[in-house]
Amino acid sequence: MNGYRGRFAPSPTGDLHFGSLVAALGSWLRARACGGTWLVRIEDLDPPREIAGAAARMLATLHAFGMTSDEPVVAQSQRQHRYTTALEHLVERGLAFPCACSRKQLEDSGALHVAACMPPPLGTAHAWRAHCADIEIGFDDAVIGRYTQSLRRDVGDFVLKRNDGLYAYQLAVVVDDAAQGISEVVRGADLLDSTPRQIWLQRVLGLPTPDYLHLPLVLDEHGRKLGKSLASQPVDAANPLPALRAALRFLGQPDQLGCDDVNELLRCAATSFDITQIPASVPSRIAGISD
């Protein structure tokens, strides 16, 4: 194993479907092709959206598809203290502030958090938001190329901790990618426009910025993301080969028709894995933002 460390970080909000299989396979192949380590992290930050048993079923399905974490699986629900420390650090430096604005108030003020919400009256439930710098953040994605975003204009003061006490994905993912020494993040392009926020958080928290590779998104027939919440079909753990081949084709890779064994197919796919063949796609919602 060399210094490459990748990960697949599903939220346990449903069973593994084709879209999440593509993300798992893309990150696994990249890690194997680089001779590195592949980790699975369960992003169970949001209990109200969780489906009981989904995390265990996802891990079992990944196993049936020949992919198991090289190190013990980590669950974000067990790591709250790390997010607390990171948030405290930001608050101390004036980079996070309490905000009790409702969605309606924010709409009315054009999402501006000025004096109106600082500080919220004592005892008011409030979120913690990042004090976004007025800067452009860009990075070179291994598939998509250069992607740049103006944090203040395109995103605004984003939530780090919700007013129900739950930590937000943006903070947790940055803390955990650094804690796990992730050298490259491979994930779906729906998270492309989250990446500048994450790079900003890495910088202000003094954490390293990994490389990024965003995979094309699997869309349903209406052009919408194949979400776990939509009634998308779970992949069939009892018959992994057809879905694995389809996922390889989706990633622009040969579908290894000659291989009838899951592990052999994965081995061959890793050997011939070529990221220049992965179709680059920027979701239209995101393309609109950066125009």
Q: Cβ closer to ligand GLU: 50 or 154?
A: 50
Residues 4, 5, 6, 9: which binds ligand GLU (CB under 6 A)? 9
Residue type, 208: P
Q: Cβ closer to ligand GLU: 29 or 99?
A: 29
Least separation in angstroms between CB 43 and ligand GLU:
4
Interface with ligand GLU includes 173 (CB under 6 A)?
yes
Q: Which stretch binds ligand GLU (CB under 6 A): 4-12, 128-136, 147-155, 244-252?
A: 4-12
Q: Cβ closer to ligand GLU: 105 or 202?
A: 202
Give the ranges where 93-227 is alpha helix by DSSP (H). Answer: 103-108, 169-179, 195-204
Q: 28: which residues sit within 8 A by CB, 6+ positions away? A: 6, 8, 38, 67, 266, 270
Return d(Cα 97, Cα 92) in angstroms, integer. 10
Q: Cβ closer to ligand GLU: 19 or 240?
A: 19
Least separation in angstroms between CB 36 and ligand GLU:
17
CA dihedral 259, 263, 268, 271 (to 10 degrees): 180
Interface with ligand GLU includes 43 (CB under 6 A)?
yes
State the number of binding residues for ligand GLU (CB under 6 A). 7
Residues 187, 197, 214, 225: which binds ligand GLU (CB under 6 A)? 187
Residues 29, 132, 137, 191: which binds ligand GLU (CB under 6 A)? 191
Q: 152: which residues sit within 8 A by CB, 6+ positions away? A: 132, 133, 134, 135
Least separation in angstroms between CB 112 and ligand GLU:
28
Under a CB-based contact definition with an 8 Å cutoff, are residues 7 and 67 in contact? no
Residues 4, 5, 11, 22: which binds ligand GLU (CB under 6 A)? 11
Return d(Cα 170, Cα 174) in angstroms, integer. 6
Q: Which stretch binds ligand GLU (CB under 6 A): 9-17, 115-123, 209-217, 240-248?
A: 9-17
Return d(Cα 118, Cα 75) in angstroms, integer. 33
Nearest Cα neighbor of 218 from 283, 173, 174 is 283
Positions in the binding site for ligand GLU (CB under 6 A):
9-11, 43, 173, 187, 191
